[in-house]
Structure 1
Amino acid sequence: MKTLLLYISLLSVIFILLIKSMYYWPESKIKHFTFVFTYSDQFVEAMRATEDAGYVSIQWHDKSHQRDESSMAWEAGEPKYKKVVEPDLSKIIGPYKETGLQSLWLQHYHGAWLIRKAFSYKDENGTGEGIYAFGTVNPKGVCLPNTQCVEHLFGQWHVIKN
């Protein structure tokens, strides 16, 4: 019994260390799956709070080495979004901030929530900024012409490299 408990404890420590080191993993679907699976609850909570606040897009960056943080938000408007002056994002980023993540850029776009600039990647065309998407994603709306940039992760989650 003690040996079994020791093995379970050891496996738990190894699992936690693997999850904590995911930022250093090579670019792969497994890396994206693990990251989104780990933080999906916080992402969805931030999306709901953004929607409840009446915003269609927010940007937040924690400048931990400085005293202030950068916060921006936009409301729906015609023909483009309207920027909100001095938005209060505390209810949106409060729970998200507790995870240790330091930035968030959400945008509601054609029925899906996009987590913009979620990661950087390199491919044969150079360096790009990747996006995670939650909801129904139409590749024609987010991909460059003649490319397939959307990859399904799980549930309603997708990764977009464009």
Structure 2
Amino acid sequence: MATTDPQKRPRKTDGMEKIPTIMIKAMFGMVLLALALVTWARVTDKPLSALPDHNAPIAIERQIVIEGSNSGRATVYDTEGNIIREFGPLEGGFISGIWRVLRHERGKIDAPVDAPVRLVRYESGRLSLYDDLTGWRAELIGFGADNAAAFARLLD
């Protein structure tokens, strides 16, 4: 007679084996190694070598003021207050998102939200955005080619 109590039934195996102990030890070893490398880099003030060179030759640079909204609308001005480009809610999402980041970063130090930022295209084609008030910067290609192109058009 078969038992119907699930506690007393023999356990069925599904063919899956346990993870070998050596693999678990290897994973923890890799985590500890990564932690040791990061700790060593921070303690010795190792420079952040993955960041692009700031001294690379600049092809064009422009100061812009970004004004955005949570709806995705964005307007970009030059330093004299002339409109460079207006974006609707469907096309200005990324630029409005950058405005929200700037608003947040500047809010930390009580800096004016409407201060200009530097949009820089290097001779290599790399496009960067710098906020000299807070030290914040963005390498725009890291957000995708379409988003970088939205900023590249502001330089043309």
Please, what TM-score do these two structures have when normalized by structure 2? 0.26
Structure 1 or 2: more strand by fraction: 1
Larger Rg: 2
Larger RCO of the pair (alpha carbons < 8 Å, separation 6+)? 2
